[in-house]
Amino acid sequence: MSILVVSVSHKTAPMDLLARLTLPADVTSKVLSSLLSSEHVDEAVVLSTCNRTELYAAVTRFHGGLQALTETVEQIVGISVETLQDNCAVFYDEAAVSHCFSVTSGLDSMVRGEHQILGQVRQSLNHAQSEGAVGTTLNALFQQALRVAKRVQTETAAGTAGRSLVTASLAELADRGIDVGGLRALVVGAGSMAALAAHTLDDRGAAVTLVNRTLEKADRLADAVGGRARPLEELTDALDHADVVVTCTGARGLRLTADDLRHTPVRGVVDLALPADVADEVGELPGVELVNLDVLARIAHDESGGIADGLGAGAGEIAEAEAVVAEEVKDFLGLRRAAAVAPTVVALRSMAQDVMTAELARLNARLPYLGDKEREEIQTAVRRVVEKLLHQPTVRVKQLAAMPDTPDYAAALRELFALDSAAIEAVSQSR
């Protein structure tokens, strides 16, 4: 089973297209169900964040799997295959493993080295598991990706600095002359991004007020940061008592316009929602600075389209983290290649067992006068001979299979011993 990834991210597509591809849980479930109905897709996971939407699949064929993924997006999300192909990156097998590990470790994020993606990946995996869309292939991939990300966080400088979209946005505001320390900060929303914003603002000395559609959630978060909670119906009044606004709801029904902020004391607005919570025209108000995902994307990319050193971890820190990821990718692929040869080894041993059993039965028929002790000695000797003959080749083929860029020794075994392909497939399906 091969791994295929279709990725639409801040690196490949404009924010308006990413906004259209932001998939709530119910739509994600439909996408998973549709993918699993394809004859070429056995497993699937959908990762959708404010930076990216990615479809991971365990596929039997590359082209058939790619067609299933792109046509599913067209049918359910309404984005044509052509548009998707023009704005995506495709990763297959070994490249897909490397990409997954890098994404989960925050190395492919808009803010490199950020930690929030780890929780988002875990949540996406859990959702796919609850939908019955994850089997051994993607479970092994994502479980290892989560472990790799933890290692990057604990062992490298890129993972220990606590970077996030929130810290990057506040740094941009500071560069524009707005330091949040001592200011009144209004956080709209109470999800994971809002929680990160509230805690970050509190740590930097801002007085935090939270506004959310569900007041109970805002209350709990406000208690954690020593702030105040208000219902969404009081947003207009809350804006009249705020210097800085951070909004990250992604709710399609919320839209702050220039008119909403024109006569307020708000000086800085951070919009981390996708789709956006704040109209671009807000950035044109006199004395108001707007930092949104479009702004961060421009900062994150240099003129050549690559990731710049100015947002997130620096080149040295990233190189350190990438070395960890590369090591883990190599080890994972080695284990995967070794596991792939296991059905062939099992089939070879099974064939040898059948041959040995048949020959012992023939011997028993030809020498009926042998006593039980003699028969047991002969059977033991034959088994030892077969085991010794098979031991070195089967151990060696697993070792060689784990090495990159080696011939397909499993295929050689299948050809040399005329192994039954159906039997090998049956072993593969049972593992």
Catalytic residue positions, numbered: 50
**Using CA atoms, how far apart are residues 170 and 291, in angstroms rounded to an integer?**
9
- Distance in angstroms (rounded) separating the CA atoms of residues 75 and 54: 16
Length of the chain: 431
CB 212 within 8 A of CB 195: no
The rounded distance, in Å, linking the Cα atoms of 236 and 259 is 11
Which strands form 52-59's sheet, in the order they lie side by side?
A: 41-48, 52-59, 2-9, 89-92
Q: By the 8 A CB rule, do 40 and 122 touch?
A: no
CA-CA distance, 84 to 17, in Å (whole number)?
A: 9
Distance (Å, whole) CA 44 – CA 58: 6
* 187 SS3 class: strand
Alpha carbons 344 and 38: distance in angstroms, whole number: 27
Of 199, 189, 193, 197, give the one whose Cα is nearest residue 224.
199
Strand partners, 271: 247, 292
Those residues whose C-beta lies under 8 Å from the C-beta of residue 44, and which sit 6 or more positions away, are 31, 32, 35, 36, 55, 56, 57, 58, 128, 133, 134, 138
Q: At what angle do helices 192-203 and 215-225 cross, to 10 degrees?
A: 30
